[in-house]
Amino acid sequence: MLTLTERPIDLAALIAAVSDDGHGAICSFLGVTRETSPGDARPVEALDYEAYATMVVADFERIAEEARQRFGPLKIAIVHRTGRVALGEPSVAVVVGAPHRNAAFDACRFAIDTLKARTPIWKQERYRDGGTNWVANA
């Protein structure tokens, strides 16, 4: 499962997607909308995400393949929200199933760090005072 969605992220579905009788570890990461962001003390009300779906899904596929090449046999799910994501809701999930925990942890971290560094997803913070700000991936 490598996709964008406007719906809330279903962690149980992602865990099911990476489950395998040969895997002894499942590691997950959820990126959740927080009240403030580094560099701006204004309280955040929500985040709005935009993405070019074809490019994003292709990049998720490359990230998953790179993770398998680096960390061995594994299954990986990456889902990112588009549209409005309220405070406390997950905007991104990475779930990895692997034979052993080290590979699951390492692949999960690699996937989220790589996604944040290069995937063309744009985020606009919406503040409680009515202001907005586009924020670049880090």
Of 118, 114, 108, the C-alpha closest to 29 is 108
Cβ atoms of 79 and 114 closer than 8 Å:
no
> Would you give per-residue pLDDT tens digits along the chain (138 residues)?
999 999 999 999 999 999 999 999 999 999 999 998 777 789 999 999 999 999 999 999 999 999 999 999 999 999 999 999 999 999 999 999 999 999 999 999 999 999 999 999 999 999 999 999 998 765
pTM for the complete prediction? 0.94
State both tokens at 108.
């999960």
> CATH for 2-36+51-121, among 3.40.228.10, 3.40.50.300, 3.90.1170.40, 3.30.300.30?
3.90.1170.40
Six token digits for residue 87: 């405070």
Q: Give me the residue spans of the domains in the chain.
A: 2-36+51-121
Distances in Å between the Cα of 107 and the Cα atoms of 16, 31, 74 are 17, 16, 9
